[in-house]
Amino acid sequence: MIAGMLAAAAAGNAVTKADFRAALPDVRLGLLNAQFDLAETDVPVVVIIAGDDRVGANGLVNRLNEWLDSRYLDTEVFTGDTDADRARPSAWRLWRALPPRGRMALWVGGLMRVVRATVAGEVTEADMQRWATHLRRTQRMWLADGALVLKFFVHTPADVQKKRLKKARKKGADAWRYDERDWTLAGDLDDAIPMIERALRETSVPGAPWTIIEGTDERYRDLSVAQSILAAVTARLAAPSGTQPGVPDAPYVDPDQAASVLAHVDLDRSVDKATYRRRLSAAQGELHRLADEARRRDVATILAFEGWDAGGKGGAIRRITQALEAGDYRVHAVAAPTAQERAHHYLWRFWRDVPRDGRIAIYDRTWYGRVLVERVEGFAAPAEWQRAYDEILDFEEQLTEHGAVLAKFWLHISADEQLARFRAREDTAYKRHKITEEDYRNREKWDDYVTAVDQMVVRTSTATAPWHIISGNDKRNARLEVLDAVVEGLTRALA
Amino acid sequence: MIAGMLAAAAAGNAVTKADFRAALPDVRLGLLNAQFDLAETDVPVVVIIAGDDRVGANGLVNRLNEWLDSRYLDTEVFTGDTDADRARPSAWRLWRALPPRGRMALWVGGLMRVVRATVAGEVTEADMQRWATHLRRTQRMWLADGALVLKFFVHTPADVQKKRLKKARKKGADAWRYDERDWTLAGDLDDAIPMIERALRETSVPGAPWTIIEGTDERYRDLSVAQSILAAVTARLAAPSGTQPGVPDAPYVDPDQAASVLAHVDLDRSVDKATYRRRLSAAQGELHRLADEARRRDVATILAFEGWDAGGKGGAIRRITQALEAGDYRVHAVAAPTAQERAHHYLWRFWRDVPRDGRIAIYDRTWYGRVLVERVEGFAAPAEWQRAYDEILDFEEQLTEHGAVLAKFWLHISADEQLARFRAREDTAYKRHKITEEDYRNREKWDDYVTAVDQMVVRTSTATAPWHIISGNDKRNARLEVLDAVVEGLTRALA
């Protein structure tokens, strides 16, 4: 399973009618109180809604207008350029709509128009980049001035949108909501996704990231956005004046986490021994050939492994290195930082070990520790791990821009399988050192890790540096999935 | 006098031998103590030296190595790409050289190589922009992590460099310091200046601006950089842990401010009445024609006026509007912000009044109030006005990218002339309302304003939005200088 940012967010989130009804009174009262309290502060709040699901984003905006007190809310829909807009720099309309301190504004649209124009070639890449640069700087300015900026992108998979359209056309009831635009949009959506993800990445700034909201279920869509707004405003109202607390940017996740990225991995996949041997040998042979070519063509390869304890990282890595020339690769086992490493920025040790062109670096645990163990264990403050998503994306962008192939793996197993493996390790003399009390303690934080992994995958899956979520309960299956992904990544890069 | 960033910094700064000797013991002891105290903190310090004056930058680095304790200083010269460098993303060498917390590193080079390669067409604009983007993000990351980043750019005018080279060649004594590179550099310098200024602008981030150091006088060069480093490290050591105090980014200015931008304005320029009438009429006619063409071609014009009280802004503005059609322009008199304006970001009201294509906006006082009156009077905190330089540059960049013509004027007069004008106003019935007690009080802060104007001009003069420093003791001269500059700016834009 390869996850892009948007695909990862589309995990099947849904809220039942009963849960929705139960949650609603608190949310609505909370929002009204928050607006009321906000008026006493010097904090302007900008809530930005965009989405590849036009009708869904509209529905969300209508709902928020219903739940918030519209006397204290300025809704601005940036549909098309007016004559007055075109006659001025593009940020003019944003500044005009900027709410005064103590008020909230709801902004709709904008982003997708730029994406579509870029995909259609009406806007050059350079212009798109300039637009994003100014937008980043503008947001930073507003944040530094004390503003709270909350951004939600409603993503609904193309097939879901098409189904809705067909139904509306057939039944006629909701047909008025849709028009020709929606047919075109849904049809082109899959092609536009890389550019959407890039636009989301390039218009994110620390303190104001995009939260991707799955739009398939309306109740989930509306409730999760409302709860996120409420949490962010509440946190800001509680913070001492003049400080910017970390934005609570985890989207609403339902209590049993049925809709996380990990919940959708089919852990039943398995491979029999004979098939395994055959496919392993073929994949390793192919990998050897590709690594050889990558060396000759000066293409570096970086393989980043994360996963549950006892998830099978080591075994998967060994199946890769078996296929490589000893001089071509290095495996970096990343443990707690040394004193020298602690005296530097957390990315320093990973920069230090960046492989040179033509070489392969394999990381057994990675820079993602910042948003996994350091987040969950509290080693990094919220503001620190929250800004790390952008810092990591920039790090990886520099690697891939330089020409490196980068693939990231999360080795997923079930909690039961992990327990079984821990027990088995204790029974095996040469594996006993791998298991400690701490490993058992970590299991108590399983749910926290599920949330952290979910957000990590959603925030850092890109077209050039995708996350591969590996089905690992069957070790043979896990190893083949990893090998196949490496072979595929190299094949694409060398094509 | 049109000022670019670098030209503005080359104001003729010099330190006498006696002043140098007197200042040195304190600076050297201060630097050694600062290094010592630094070792107890978790702050890494990166001092970056670059310059269009290769020999001068080298001399500065040698001097700093002499004055600092080299046991606690890591000097890294980024001369050329090594094989190992080229095989990795360009930031790799920076990360490798990053000092651990508590240590100071001195970095040399880098920037000018990119500038030269871009000017020579060996690096595309897009690649240059990507390089700058990553550099900005990297600095932000380090700053957020607690680093202190100090950047100095040594600028020595081309003619001074050429004189030095000739002298060295003739006398032979210093000849070994120079080589063919320096001849080429000095020869091409003037052509490269717009790209240098752009690179400086695009690699500045709030909290780590470039300080431009005039390299003509070695004693000034070395002493001002040493004092700036000392001031910044001292401020940082005194700040509560975990906070980032504003960087004291004003370069060293000698007490009598003989070398400020303003000190070099020839205030004796005057124009007789007959010449004035003739030239005024000609310039106004030309302006009328150009304004007409700008309207037809949808080019907006923005004229920003700052200057001393009673400096003649109003009179100069009237000589412009006399030449314009009433429907084409608006004059915005910028006073203390209203309640509504105070409820917004300080740039909001200026964005609100951005003229549409083809129109002319004239600002009598401007957004530069943030770094002038708000700085001097303490209405804005140091961190606020310090980040304003970059915010203003971004605002103006959006205007000029959109196609607007932007010219900025400082109407300069002497303190004596101002006093005479205040007195004259008191004697004229219809001008008496223009003069208050406050105007007299403001005169006490004359020197603070000189410093603020100096830094404003150095930090915000760009090729597309230059500062014009107007010699205003003679009103006729001032009005003609302004009109000529507007005519010239429009002529260039419409060519």
> Which helix (H) or strand (E) element contains residue B51?
strand B45-51
Residues B27 and B142 in one domain: yes
Q: CB distance from A138 to chain B under 8 Å? A: yes
Structural contact between residues A16 and A475, judged by C-beta atoms closer than 8 angstroms: no
Q: CB distance from B423 to chain A under 8 Å? A: no
What does the alpha-carbon distance between residue A425 and residue A435 come to, in Å, rounded to a whole number? 7
Order of strands, edge to edge, in the sheet holding B45-51?
Answer: B73-77, B104-108, B45-51, B148-155, B210-214
What does the alpha-carbon distance between residue A37 and residue A102 come to, in Å, rounded to a whole number? 8
User: Of A98, A73, A95, A75, which is closest to residue A85 (Cα–Cα)?
Assistant: A95
CB atoms within 10 A of CB A71: 6
Q: Answer yes or no: do B88 and A142 touch at CB < 8 A.
A: no
Q: CB distance from B23 to chain A under 8 Å? A: no
Residue B144 C-alpha, separation from nearest chain A C-alpha, in angstroms: 9
A491 exposure class (CB count in 10 Å sphere: 0-12, 13-18, 19+)? middle
Structural contact between residues B271 and B231, judged by C-beta atoms closer than 8 angstroms: no
pLDDT at position B55: 85
Please identify, among A224, A257, A290, the residue that sits at the C-terminal boundary of a domain.
Answer: A257
Residues B99 and B229 in one domain: yes
pLDDT at residue B253 tops 50: no
Give every CB contact of residue B71 below 8 A, 6+ residues apart in sequence: none
Classify residue B352: in a domain, yes or no.
Answer: yes
Structural contact between residues A411 and A305, judged by C-beta atoms closer than 8 angstroms: yes
CA geometry: angle B121, B124, B128, nearest 5 deg: 115
Q: Answer yes or no: do B89 and A402 touch at CB < 8 A.
A: yes
Residues B82 and B154 in one domain: yes
User: Of B199, B167, B193, which is closest to residue B55 (Cα–Cα)?
Assistant: B167
Instruction: With beta carbons under 8 A apart, name residues in chain A contacting B140.
Output: 206
Alpha-carbon torsion angle A357, A361, A365, A367, nearest 10? -10
Task: Scan residues 446-485 of B and list those with Cβ closer than 8 Å to A.
Answer: none
Q: Answer yes or no: do A345 and B142 touch at CB < 8 A.
A: yes
Structural contact between residues A200 and A462, judged by C-beta atoms closer than 8 angstroms: no
Structural contact between residues B156 and B56, judged by C-beta atoms closer than 8 angstroms: yes
Digit-coded pLDDT (tens) for B106-138? 998 778 888 888 888 888 888 888 888 889 989
First to last CA, chain B: 22
Task: Tell me whether 0.85 is exceeded by the ipTM.
Answer: no
Domain count for chain B, please give it: 2
**Best residue of B41, B394, B406 to probe chain A, by most A CBs closer than 10 Å:** B394
Residue A426 C-alpha, separation from nearest chain B C-alpha, in angstroms: 40
User: Of B6, B78, B89, which is closest to residue B49 (Cα–Cα)?
Assistant: B78
The b-or-e profile of B154-163 (16+ CB within 10 A means b, else e) is: bbbbbebbee
pLDDT at residue A15 tops 80: yes
Task: Scan residues 186-215 of A and list those with Cβ closer than 8 Å to B.
Answer: 206
pLDDT at residue B4 tops 80: no
Tokens 């040698």, located at residue: B62
State the average pLDDT over residues A465-492: 96
Q: Answer yes or no: do B398 and A343 touch at CB < 8 A.
A: no
Residues B137 and B283 in one domain: no
Structural contact between residues A212 and A151, judged by C-beta atoms closer than 8 angstroms: no
Digit-coded pLDDT (tens) for A230-270? 999 998 988 876 666 655 555 544 545 556 778 878 999 99
Rg, chain A, Cα only: 24
Q: Answer yes or no: do A348 and B95 touch at CB < 8 A.
A: yes
Residue B257 C-alpha, separation from nearest chain A C-alpha, in angstroms: 32
pLDDT at position A17: 93
pLDDT at residue B255 tops 50: no
**Closest chain A residue by Cα to residue B354:** A88
Residues B38 and B157 in one domain: yes
State the average pLDDT over residues A137-150: 91
Residues B240 and B278 in one domain: no
Sign of CA dihedral A111, A112, A113, A116: positive
Residue type, B284: Q
Digit-coded pLDDT (tens) for A440-457? 888 899 989 998 998 899
Q: Answer yes or no: do A344 and B87 touch at CB < 8 A.
A: no
Please state whether beta strands B329-333 and B360-364 pair in parallel, antiparallel, or not at all (unpaired): parallel
Tokens 């140098």, located at residue: B20
pLDDT at position A8: 80
pLDDT at position A477: 97
Task: Scan residues 71-90 of A and list those with Cβ closer than 8 Å to B.
Answer: 84, 86-90
State the average pLDDT over residues A60-65: 92
Q: Answer yes or no: do A100 and B134 touch at CB < 8 A.
A: no
Number of helices followed by number of strands (H, E) in chain B: 20, 11
Structural contact between residues A57 and A116, judged by C-beta atoms closer than 8 angstroms: no
What does the alpha-carbon distance between residue A465 and residue A442 come to, in Å, rounded to a whole number? 28
Helices (H), B172-312: 180-202, 218-238, 273-296
Residues B279 and B232 in one domain: no
State the average pLDDT over residues B432-458: 86
Q: CB distance from B138 to chain A under 8 Å? A: yes
Digit-coded pLDDT (tens) for A81-98? 778 888 888 888 899 899
Q: Which of B95, B102, B397 sits opposite A351 (nearest CB)?
A: B95
Residue B253 C-alpha, separation from nearest chain A C-alpha, in angstroms: 29
Q: Answer yes or no: do A95 and B401 touch at CB < 8 A.
A: no
Please state whether beta strands A405-412 and A467-471 pair in parallel, antiparallel, or not at all (unpaired): parallel
Residues B270 and B237 in one domain: no
Q: Which of A101, A125, A344 sits opposite B98 (nearest CB)?
A: A344
Structural contact between residues A48 and A149, judged by C-beta atoms closer than 8 angstroms: yes
**Closest chain B residue by Cα to residue A388:** B141
pLDDT at residue B221 tops 90: yes
User: Of A355, A383, A388, A348, which is closest to residue A369 (Cα–Cα)?
Assistant: A388
Please identify, among A257, A290, A309, the residue that sits at the C-terminal boundary of a domain.
Answer: A257
Domain containing residue A289: CATH number: 3.40.50.300
User: Of A215, A213, A170, which is closest to residue A53 (Cα–Cα)?
Assistant: A215
Where residue B91 falls among pLDDT bands split at 50, 70, 90?
confident
Q: CB distance from B394 to chain A under 8 Å? A: yes
Q: Answer yes or no: do A98 and B345 touch at CB < 8 A.
A: yes
DSSP 3-state of A81: coil
pLDDT at residue B346 tops 80: yes
Give CB contacts under 8 A, 24+ apart, made by A338-342: A340/B100
Residues B60 and B201 in one domain: yes
Q: Answer yes or no: do B344 and A142 touch at CB < 8 A.
A: no
Digit-coded pLDDT (tens) for A316-331? 999 999 999 988 999 9
Instruction: With beta carbons under 8 A apart, name residues in chain B contacting A145.
Output: 345-346
Residues B337 and B371 in one domain: yes
Of the candidate ranges A162-166, A173-177, A284-288, A349-353, the one whose mean pLDDT is the lowest: A173-177
Tokens 């990795």, located at residue: B88
pLDDT at residue A134 tops 70: yes
State the average pLDDT over residues B4-9: 81
Digit-coded pLDDT (tens) for A424-435? 888 877 777 777
Count of A-B CB contacts under 8 Å:
125
Instruction: With beta carbons under 8 A apart, name residues in chain B contacting A298.
Output: 87
Q: CB distance from B401 to chain A under 8 Å? A: yes
Tokens 């443990």, located at residue: A335
B367 exposure class (CB count in 10 Å sphere: 0-12, 13-18, 19+)? buried
DSSP 3-state of A390: helix
State the average pLDDT over residues A154-158: 92
Per the DSSP assignment, residues forming a β-bridge with A408 are A304, A467
Where residue A3 falls among pLDDT bands split at 50, 70, 90?
low
pLDDT > 90: percent of chain A: 52
Digit-coded pLDDT (tens) for A358-404? 999 999 999 999 999 999 999 998 888 988 998 999 899 999 989 99
Q: Answer yes or no: do A344 and B402 touch at CB < 8 A.
A: no
Digit-coded pLDDT (tens) for B125-175? 888 888 888 899 899 989 988 999 999 999 999 889 888 888 877 776 566
Q: Answer yes or no: do A402 and B96 touch at CB < 8 A.
A: no
What does the alpha-carbon distance between residue A470 and residue A464 come to, in Å, rounded to a whole number? 18
Tokens 């990119």, located at residue: B114
Instruction: With beta carbons under 8 A apart, name residues in chain B contacting A133.
Output: 133
Q: CB distance from A277 to chain B under 8 Å? A: no
Q: Answer yes or no: do B101 and A206 touch at CB < 8 A.
A: no
DSSP 3-state of B216: coil
Q: Answer yes or no: do B394 and A44 touch at CB < 8 A.
A: no
Residue A23, φ and ψ in degrees, nearest 5 = -80, -25
pLDDT at residue B81 tops 80: no
Region of B257 (left: φ > 0; alpha: ψ -120 to 50; beta: rest) is left
Tell me the helix, strand and coil percentages in chain B, rounded to 5. 55, 15, 30
Structural contact between residues A214 and A221, judged by C-beta atoms closer than 8 angstroms: yes
Helices (H), A297-381: 313-321, 339-342, 348-352, 373-376
pLDDT at residue B202 tops 80: yes
Residues A427 and A348 in one domain: yes
Alpha-carbon torsion angle A164, A169, A175, A177, nearest 10? 40
State the average pLDDT over residues B367-394: 92
pLDDT at residue B199 tops 60: yes
What does the alpha-carbon distance between residue B96 and residue B111 come to, in Å, rounded to a whole number? 17
Give every CB contact of residue B487 below 8 A, 6+ residues apart in sequence: B283, B286, B287, B290
Residue A57 C-alpha, separation from nearest chain B C-alpha, in angstroms: 28
Classify residue B305: in a domain, yes or no.
Answer: yes
**Best residue of B86, B95, B357 to probe chain A, by most A CBs closer than 10 Å:** B95
pLDDT at residue A170 tops 80: no
pLDDT at position A219: 94
**Closest chain A residue by Cα to residue B44:** A344
Digit-coded pLDDT (tens) for A103-118? 999 998 778 888 888 8
Please state whether beta strands A2-3 and A467-471 pair in parallel, antiparallel, or not at all (unpaired): antiparallel
Q: Which two tokens stand for residue B210?
A: 């470039």
**Best residue of A351, A359, A386 to probe chain B, by most B CBs closer than 10 Å:** A351
Residue B284 C-alpha, separation from nearest chain A C-alpha, in angstroms: 26
Instruction: With beta carbons under 8 A apart, name residues in chain A contacting B348.
Output: 95, 98
Where residue A30 falls among pLDDT bands split at 50, 70, 90?
very high
Residues B276 and B308 in one domain: yes
pLDDT > 70: percent of chain A: 92
**Best residue of A145, A243, A370 to probe chain B, by most B CBs closer than 10 Å:** A145
What does the alpha-carbon distance between residue A248 and residue A447 come to, in Å, rounded to a whole number? 17
What does the alpha-carbon distance between residue B446 and residue B415 come to, in Å, rounded to a whole number? 8
Digit-coded pLDDT (tens) for B264-307? 789 999 999 999 999 999 999 999 999 999 999 999 999 999 99
Residue A353 C-alpha, separation from nearest chain B C-alpha, in angstroms: 9
Q: CB distance from A351 to chain B under 8 Å? A: yes
**Closest chain A residue by Cα to residue B352:** A96
Q: Which domain holds residue B381?
A: 263-494
Of the spans A467-476, B246-255, B341-350, which averages the highest pLDDT?
A: A467-476
DSSP 3-state of B381: coil
A189 exposure class (CB count in 10 Å sphere: 0-12, 13-18, 19+)? buried
Q: Which of B95, B358, B401 sits opposite A130 (nearest CB)?
A: B401
Of B367 and B198, which is predicted with more confidence?
Answer: B367
State the average pLDDT over residues B394-420: 94
What does the alpha-carbon distance between residue B311 and residue B470 come to, in Å, rounded to a whole number? 10
Q: Answer yes or no: do B89 and A401 touch at CB < 8 A.
A: yes
User: Of B338, B350, B352, B364, which is closest to residue B392 (Cα–Cα)?
Assistant: B350
Structural contact between residues A132 and A28, judged by C-beta atoms closer than 8 angstroms: no
Q: Answer yes or no: do A44 and B100 touch at CB < 8 A.
A: no
Number of helices followed by number of strands (H, E) in chain A: 20, 11
**Best residue of B40, B103, B125, B141 to probe chain A, by most A CBs closer than 10 Å:** B141
DSSP 3-state of B471: strand
pLDDT at residue A205 tops 90: no
pLDDT at position B362: 96
Please identify, among A257, A278, A299, the residue that sits at the C-terminal boundary of a domain.
Answer: A257
pLDDT at position A253: 47
Q: CB distance from B95 to chain A under 8 Å? A: yes
Helices (H), A257-329: 273-296, 313-321
